[in-house]
Amino acid sequence: MTDEPERKPFTGRHAAMILVAFFGVVISVNIVMASFALSTFGGTVVDNSYVASQHYNEWLARADAQDRLGWDRSVTVDADRHVRLTVRKDGAAVEGLRIVATLRHPLGQTPARAMRFAPAADGTLRSLDALPAGRWQLDLSVHRGTDEARYRIDLK
């Protein structure tokens, strides 16, 4: 005779508990992952990639025209968190610029806002409003007559 303890039989109740525990873990992980994905989704780059592809050659032509302008841009943030912009060609500042600027949060957590610039004493263009704390994307459209250059700058 052995002193082996008597085993309880594996019943349908045990199988049901195992299945409920397994699928409970799977569903919980899916809910957590979906909430992380939705909280960090910054939107789409284009709404319809096929329609965007129809404009590809036009975008390349604009990029070539912008490169031919020979403009070098410098964007910095000063101690007061104002954005400073300088556009140069062959080392000299380009005069008579019209700036259209939009400030966006990289994850789309706050609405986009227009940023206005005014000439500063040091020859740069200085934003009228201070840059809020955090990371931002600045979309710049710089115009002089019929010439146009577009830039996207990441700011901290």
Sign of the CA dihedral with 120 first, then 105, 97, and 89 last? positive
Q: Would residue 6 count as lying in a domain?
A: no
Q: Would residue 80 count as lying in a domain?
A: yes
Q: Would residue 135 count as lying in a domain?
A: yes
Considering all CA atoms of the chain, what is the largest pairwise distance in Å, rounded to the nearest integer?
A: 104
In 3D space, the residue among 83, 145, 70, 92 whose CA is nearest the CA of residue 116 turns out to be 83
Is the pLDDT at 35 greater than 80? The verdict is yes
Kindly write down the DSSP assignment for every residue of 52-117, as one continuous string: HHTTHHHHHHHHHHHHHHTEEEEEEE-TTS-EEEEEEETTEEPPS-EEEEEEE-TT--S--EEE-E
Render pLDDT for 76-133 as a digit per residue (tens, 0 to 9).
898 899 999 988 888 888 888 888 999 988 877 788 889 998 888 887 889 999 888 8
- Which phi and psi angles does 94 have, rounded to 5°? -85, 125
Q: What is the CATH number of the domain that holds 124?
A: 2.60.40.10
Render pLDDT for 36-69 as a digit per residue (tens, 0 to 9).
988 887 677 788 899 989 999 999 999 999 999 9
Q: Would residue 59 count as lying in a domain?
A: no
The count of domains in the chain is 1
Name the residue range of residue 108's domain. Answer: 71-155
Contact indicator for 102, 96 with CB cutoff of 8 Å: no
Q: Would residue 7 count as lying in a domain?
A: no
- What pTM, to 2 d.p., does this model score? 0.61
Which pLDDT score is estimated for 1?
A: 56
Which pLDDT score is estimated for 94?
A: 83
Check residues 35 and 47 and name the one with the higher pLDDT.
Answer: 35
Q: Would residue 83 count as lying in a domain?
A: yes
Query: What average pLDDT does the segment 7-35 reach?
Result: 96
